[in-house]
Amino acid sequence: MKNIGGILMKMRKIIAAAAATALLSAGAPAAAALPDIEGWRNGEIRETKLEAISGSKGTWTERDYRTSGGARLHAVLMQGAGPKGWEITQTNAEDGEISGGESAENLTIAGRPALLEFRPVLGRSITVKLDAENVLTLESKNAEKEEIIAAAEIIVKKMR
Residue 32: pLDDT over 70 = no
Q: Would residue 31 be called left, alpha or beta, if left means φ above 0 and alpha means ψ between -120 and 50 degrees?
A: alpha
Residue 30: pLDDT over 50 = no
Give backbone dihedrals phi and psi of 56, rounded to 5 degrees, phi first. Answer: -70, 135
Euclidean distance between CA atoms 155 and 22, whole angstroms: 26
Q: How confident is the model at residue 95 (pLDDT cuts 50, 70, 90)?
A: low
Q: For residue 53, what pLDDT is reported? A: 87
Q: For residue 23, what pLDDT is reported? A: 40
Give backbone dihedrals phi and psi of 141, rounded to 5 degrees, phi first. Answer: -85, -20
Segment 124-134 shows an average pLDDT of 91
Euclidean distance between CA atoms 63 and 15, whole angstroms: 28
How much is the pTM? 0.73
Other beta carbons less than 10 A from residue 107's beta carbon = 18
CA 80 to chain centre: 12
Size (the chain), residues = 160
Distances (CA, A) of 44 to 11, 30, 39, 47: 34, 10, 16, 10
* C-beta separation of 63 from 43 below 8 A: yes
Give backbone dihedrals phi and psi of 16, rounded to 5 degrees, phi first. Answer: -65, -40
What's the distance, Cα to Cα, between the start and end of the chain in Å? 55
Q: How confident is the model at residue 92 (pLDDT cuts 50, 70, 90)?
A: low
Give backbone dihedrals phi and psi of 94, rounded to 5 degrees, phi first. Answer: -130, 120
